[in-house]
Amino acid sequence: MNLTEQVLHVLDHALSLQGRAAAFDANTPLLGALPELDSMAVLAVITGLENHFGISFSDDELHGAVFATVGSLCELVDRALARQEP
């Protein structure tokens, strides 16, 4: 499972999309396009990503632009994973 597939899995679970995220790609809009992605759901997504990947995000990294598309969310995860590499 690649990074995008893993992020989509977390999104699907956190937002209770019942498998709909499988049809998403990097250009799929998120914030403002998915009614399920409200402020509480954003917290669930962040927590889900941190737990799934064993990473953490700083407050400075978390802003609306990272939730614009699946691709921008994957970039956030990728940057956090890169910080952990020796």
Cα–Cα distance measured from residue 60 to residue 72, given in angstroms and rounded to the nearest whole number: 15
DSSP string over 6-74: HHHHHHHHHTT-TTGGGG--TT-B-TTT-TT--HHHHHHHHHHHHHHHT----GGG-SGGGGSBHHHHH
CATH number at residue 33: 1.10.1200.10
Does the pLDDT value for residue 15 go beyond 90? yes
Query: For residues 79 and 86, which has the higher predicted lDDT (pLDDT)?
Result: 79
Q: What pLDDT, in 10s, does the model give residues 21-52?
A: 999 999 999 999 999 999 899 999 999 999 99
Which domain range does residue 10 map to? 3-84
> Global pTM?
0.93
Number of domains the chain is built from: 1
In this prediction, residues 47-58 reach a mean pLDDT of 97
- Say whether 4 sits in a helix, a strand or coil: helix
pLDDT computed for residue 86 by the predictor: 67
- The gap between the terminal CA atoms of the chain, to the nearest Å, is 22
pLDDT computed for residue 2 by the predictor: 96
User: For residue 84, what pLDDT band results from cuts at 50, 70 and 90?
Assistant: confident
